[in-house]
């Protein structure tokens, strides 16, 4: 039976990356019925909002969406569509894998990190106010419910994906109440997995140093919102940067898969942007849909094209366009998908 998936191409480089990724995912052998809907500045005039109701309805109905980046106006204009989507749909877990790939010019090898970031509270709750003229206050919210929920997500991910260790990252030595509660919640959940998944914790500053010195020693990291945002970008930098960093926002009722990078407007329409991050987000989506076999095929084909280095985009040191890069992956996939189909017939 075909999987119905909402596809939001986004703007800037989004539409060309979405087209490339869709072709690659279609070549994986998984039957996907794409429901294409638009969000962002381009739909403002028609609907009076960058996130029309029918877009939300489509994701709620299909439960799964693949999304390109959407531009957020700076300082004025509408609220970030990305943040609104996460909050409205209750997408509490932000999953950001960072894995080394052969053929990429990076300082490290053998990095295979899974960053699990809490997506709903912490300093991102947006509770801020001025205190008189010369001071301002931001309130950091940490609750046991959200902390245990994200810790459980990290442990369940570890169990389901053959991982060994979960590391909780915090600053509980200074923020004894808020980060202390986050750590306590992680410890509570860790006890349920004792003997199956190891648990440890690190103070966030030390964690950053350790990741720069020996990233290959870490496995699954679970972090509150702000540290998760910062550390996941650090981790993306270890393995090749924004062009290759996939992500997923997952909640109890829906999941939205999207790259970490934004809409890079200066490359829009030039057929130059790197589709890797959106394709890898698509592979995460295939796993979520229960098709790890197809996800593996997509990742293997992508890795092979990158390792070969002949048909990659300029940010990876090549001279291919987005379309040509995707064509090379589709060609590789064609043979592995055909032999996988022959085995199941």
Q: What angle do CA 147, 148, 153 make, to 5 degrees?
A: 100
Size of the site for ligand NAD (CB under 6 A): 18
Active site residue 67: no
List the interface residues with ligand NAD, window 220-249 (CB under 6 A): 242-243
Supply the DSSP symbol for 255. E
Shortest Cβ 286–ligand NAD spacing (Å)? 20
**Could you say whether residue 273 binds ligand NAD (CB under 6 A)?**
yes
Residue 330 in contact with residue 23, Cβ under 8 Å? yes
Of 19-27, 114-122, 263-271, 304-312, the segment contacting ligand NAD by CB under 6 A is 263-271
Of 137-145, 190-198, 255-263, 292-300, the segment contacting ligand NAD by CB under 6 A is 255-263
Contact residue for ligand NAD among 6, 21, 82, 94 (CB under 6 A): 82
Of 25-33, 202-210, 224-232, 257-265, the segment contacting ligand NAD by CB under 6 A is 257-265
Shortest Cβ 246–ligand NAD spacing (Å)? 11
Distances (CA, A) of 25 to 19, 112, 283: 10, 23, 8
Shortest Cβ 241–ligand NAD spacing (Å)? 8
Shortest Cβ 277–ligand NAD spacing (Å)? 6
Q: Which is nearer to ligand NAD, 72 or 188 (CB)?
A: 72
Residue 145 in contact with residue 276, Cβ under 8 Å? no
Of 48-56, 148-156, 183-191, 259-267, the segment contacting ligand NAD by CB under 6 A is 259-267
Contact residue for ligand NAD among 22, 261, 291, 332 (CB under 6 A): 261
Shortest Cβ 222–ligand NAD spacing (Å)? 21
Active site residue 219: no
Shortest Cβ 314–ligand NAD spacing (Å)? 8
Q: Which is nearer to ligand NAD, 5 or 273 (CB)?
A: 273
Contact residue for ligand NAD among 264, 280, 301, 329 (CB under 6 A): 264
**Distance between CA atoms of residues 28 and 173, nearest Å:** 48
How many CB atoms sit inside 10 A of residue 325's CB? Answer: 27
Contact residue for ligand NAD among 49, 62, 72, 188 (CB under 6 A): 72
Active site residue 171: yes
String of DSSP letters for 19-80: HHHHHHHHTTT--EEEEE---SGGGHHHHSSSS-HHHHHHHHHHSEEEE------SSSSSPP
Kindly report the length of the chain: 345
**Could you say whether residue 315 binds ligand NAD (CB under 6 A)?**
yes
Distances (CA, A) of 140 to 83, 108, 118, 121: 17, 34, 13, 8
**Could you say whether residue 274 binds ligand NAD (CB under 6 A)?**
yes
Cα torsion 9, 14, 15, 18: sign = negative
How many CB atoms sit inside 10 A of residue 108's CB? Answer: 16
Query: Which residue is closest to ligand NAD by CB?
Result: 262
**Could you say whether residue 69 binds ligand NAD (CB under 6 A)?**
yes
**Distance between CA atoms of residues 22 and 20, nearest Å:** 6
Supply the DSSP symbol for 243. G
**Distance between CA atoms of residues 28 and 298, nearest Å:** 6
Maximum Cα–Cα distance for the chain, whole Å?
72
**Could you say whether residue 263 binds ligand NAD (CB under 6 A)?**
yes
Active site residue 266: no
Residue 207 in contact with residue 169, Cβ under 8 Å? yes
Q: Find the catalytic residue in 38, 122, 171, 193.
A: 171
What are the catalytic residues?
124, 171, 205, 229
- Residues in touch with ligand NAD (CB under 6 A): 13, 69-72, 82, 242-243, 258, 261-264, 266, 273-274, 277, 315
């Amino acid at each position: 039976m075909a999987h119905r998936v909402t596809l939001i191409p986004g703007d800037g480089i989004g539409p060309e990356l979405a087209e490339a990724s869709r072709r690659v995912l279609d070549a994986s052998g998984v039957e996907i019925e794409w429901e294409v809907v638009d969000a962002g500045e381009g739909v403002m005039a028609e609907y009076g909002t960058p996130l029309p109701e029918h877009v939300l309805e489509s994701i709620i109905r299909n439960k799964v969406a693949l999304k390109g980046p959407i531009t957020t106006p700076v300082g004025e204009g509408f609220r970030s569509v990305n943040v609104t989507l996460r909050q409205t749909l209750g997408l509490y877990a932000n999953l950001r894998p960072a894995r080394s790939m052969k053929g990429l010019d990076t300082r490290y090898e053998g990095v295979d990190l899974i960053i699990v970031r809490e997506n709903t509270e912490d300093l991102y709750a947006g509770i801020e106010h001025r205190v008189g003229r010369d001071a301002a206050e931001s309130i950091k919210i940490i609750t046991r419910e959200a902390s245990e929920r994200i810790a459980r997500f990290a442990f369940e991910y570890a169990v389901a994906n053959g991982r060994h260790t979960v590391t909780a990252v915090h600053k509980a030595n200074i923020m004894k109440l808020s980060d202390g509660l986050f750590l306590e919640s992680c410890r509570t959940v860790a006890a349920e997995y004792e003997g199956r998944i190891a648990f440890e914790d690190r103070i966030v500053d030390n964690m950053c140093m350790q990741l720069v010195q020996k990233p290959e020693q870490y496995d699954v990291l679970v972090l509150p919102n702000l540290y998760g945002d910062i550390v996941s970008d650090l981790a993306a930098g270890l393995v090749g940067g924004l062009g290759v960093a996939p992500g997923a926002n997952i909640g109890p009722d829906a999941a939205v898969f999207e790259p970490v990078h934004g809409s890079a407007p200066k490359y829009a329409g030039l057929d130059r942007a790197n589709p890797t991050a959106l394709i890898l987000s698509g592979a995460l989506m295939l796993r979520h849909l229960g098709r790890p076999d197809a996800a593996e095929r997509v990742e293997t084909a992508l890795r092979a094209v990158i390792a070969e280095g002949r048909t990659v985009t300029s940010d990876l040191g090549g001279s291919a366009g987005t379309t040509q890069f995707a064509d090379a992956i589709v060609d590789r996939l064609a043979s592995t998908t055909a032999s996988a189909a022959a085995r199941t017939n």
